[in-house]
Amino acid sequence: MDPATELQPMPTEHLINELQSYGVRLVDPKAGADSRRGGAGPSDHKALTIDGMTVMVPVHTAPAFESPYLVEKPDAYGRSRISRDGLVLGEVSFPRQPKFYARSTADGIPYSKIAVLHGRDVLATTVLQTCIRYQSRTKTCQFCAIGQSLAADRTIAHKTPAQLAEVAKAAVELDGVKHMVMTTGTPPGKDRGAKILADSAAAVKAAVDLPIQVQCEPPDDDAWFARLREAGADALGMHLEAVTEPVRARIMPGKAQVSVARYFTAFAAAVPVFGRGQVSTYILAGLGDTAEEILDVCDRLTTLGVYPFVVPFVPISGTPLESHPTPSPAFMNSILGPLSGMMIARGLKSIDVKAGCAKCGACSALSTYERRGTPAPRGLGQGGCA
């Protein structure tokens, strides 16, 4: 083998950090044909399996077009090689398109417009593809593209409980899906989407035995947590995105009206209902919060029993932050290394989460750090519920 192309090993967590910061270039553009563009969640990404871990990697973003990482054309089995500046780093594979995508409802709506596959075995849906904040550029989250996939006719505005149950049952039977994520744009009303999520979870659970995570902003009434649990939700996500009030006010002016303090009272109320580790929050590193600020908030979260799922911010085309830089791999390592030790010390592991983003782990290298067994920071002991 040419020395320039000899296999160059790299720790998996470092490789994932670099791929999610820089993205990848695809030799075969068709290999990214089923990648996600726009919408909620990991958009402009492609699922790649590396060392047994399926991760979402940017392929349609500006950094990806100039990435030093290149993925060769896959073979007939979906296997390929990944290289950096001509040096082969290892083998990757592309998950096959799920079988349930070939089906449609009785009224002709493709199943893929109702729910999609995330990572390797996660069914994901945005129940309401609209949001009270998205209609106003003075209120919308500047990273959000929830309206893009709707405008492009890749989804429908409102998925009914019956539609979600039908698709979930097929995804389990045809593709072995292991858990489901239900998120939603925020509708008018004080429940902030909890009602429609409860109705949707109940319908899916009546059709198929599938662990479900629901995601919404904190409702005004904490009684919704018990209602969601009783409806069949196994896990709950309430996403801070940014952890300091100045960054939240600048990046998500509408959502920032729900304060960090309110999120913490909601977390404290939800953990006894769902259990330690079954309540999580999504934190986007790279929006302006420092590593120290993120870790300080994560210390409070893990003490409560909340799983802080920290991911690198990836800009989405067509949003106000489309030119915002991604965080460096070194920045992500400075957070994920100490954070994984913090969580291990407090008994919070992605493998124990029943459903949702933390269990999937595809948008961050965090679970890879967990498996490596990063030691806890000095002086950190076992936390308890506050």
Segment 50-89, tens digit of pLDDT: 888 899 998 877 778 889 999 998 888 888 999 998 889 8
- Per-residue model confidence (pLDDT) at position 378: 34
Same domain assignment for residues 219 and 358 = yes
DSSP-derived secondary structure letter, 300: H
pLDDT tens-digit readout, 338-385? 999 999 999 999 999 999 999 999 999 999 999 876 444 433 332 322
Mean pLDDT, the chain, integer: 88
Same domain assignment for residues 122 and 260 = yes
What does residue 366 show for φ and ψ, rounded to 5 degrees?
A: -55, -45
Q: Which two tokens stand for residue 198?
A: 């409860």
In contact, 252 and 142? CB cutoff 8 Å: yes
DSSP letters, 42-82, are S-SEEEEEETTEEEEEESSSHHHHT-SEEEPPP-TTSEEEE
Same domain assignment for residues 205 and 312 = yes
- Is residue 10 a part of any domain in this protein? yes
Indicate the SS3 state at residue 204: helix
pLDDT tens-digit readout, 3-37? 444 445 678 888 899 999 999 998 876 654 454 44
| Strand partners for 145 | 39
Where is 279: in which H helix or E strand?
Answer: strand 279-285
- Is residue 51 a part of any domain in this protein? yes
Sheet bearing 69-71, strands edge to edge: 25-26, 69-71, 79-84, 87-93, 45-50, 53-58
Report the number of distinct structural domains present in the chain.
2
- Is residue 147 a part of any domain in this protein? yes
> Residue 190: is it exposed, middle or buried by C-beta count within 10 angstroms (0-12/13-18/19+)?
exposed
List helix spans (H) across 91-242.
148-151, 161-175, 194-207, 223-231
More confident residue, 184 or 6: 184
Same domain assignment for residues 53 and 140 = no
CATH of the domain at 233: 3.20.20.70
Q: What is the pTM of this model?
A: 0.89
* Average pLDDT of the residues in 320-337: 93
Tell me the CA distances in angstroms from 96 to 80, 120, 169, 361, 384, one per residue in order.
13, 9, 19, 19, 42
The answer for 288, left when phi > 0, alpha when psi is -120 to 50, beta otherwise, is left
> Which residues, at least 6 apart from 66, have a Cβ–Cβ distance to it below 8 Å?
none
Domain boundary among 76, 93, 110: 93
Q: 32-46, 127-141, 244-258 — which is least confidently predicted? A: 32-46
β-bridge pairing 69-71 and 79-84: antiparallel
- Is residue 384 a part of any domain in this protein? no
* CA gap 282, 274 in Å, rounded: 17
Q: Which of 236, 241, 247 is closest to 197 using CA atoms?
A: 236
- Is residue 378 a part of any domain in this protein? no
Crossing angle of helices 260-274 and 291-304, in 10° steps, is 40
- Per-residue model confidence (pLDDT) at position 53: 86
pLDDT at 195 over 90: yes
Same domain assignment for residues 89 and 110 = no
Same domain assignment for residues 242 and 107 = yes
- Per-residue model confidence (pLDDT) at position 5: 47
In this prediction, residue 309 has a pLDDT band, given cuts at 50, 70 and 90, of very high
Same domain assignment for residues 158 and 39 = no
Q: Which domain holds residue 343?
A: 99-372
Same domain assignment for residues 108 and 55 = no
Number of residues that make up the chain: 386
Sign of CA dihedral 284, 285, 290, 291: positive
* CA gap 75, 79 in Å, rounded: 5
Residue 170: alpha-carbon gap to chain centroid: 22
Q: Which of 156, 31, 228, 299 is closest to 167 using CA atoms?
A: 156
- Is residue 382 a part of any domain in this protein? no
Domain boundary among 41, 65, 93: 93
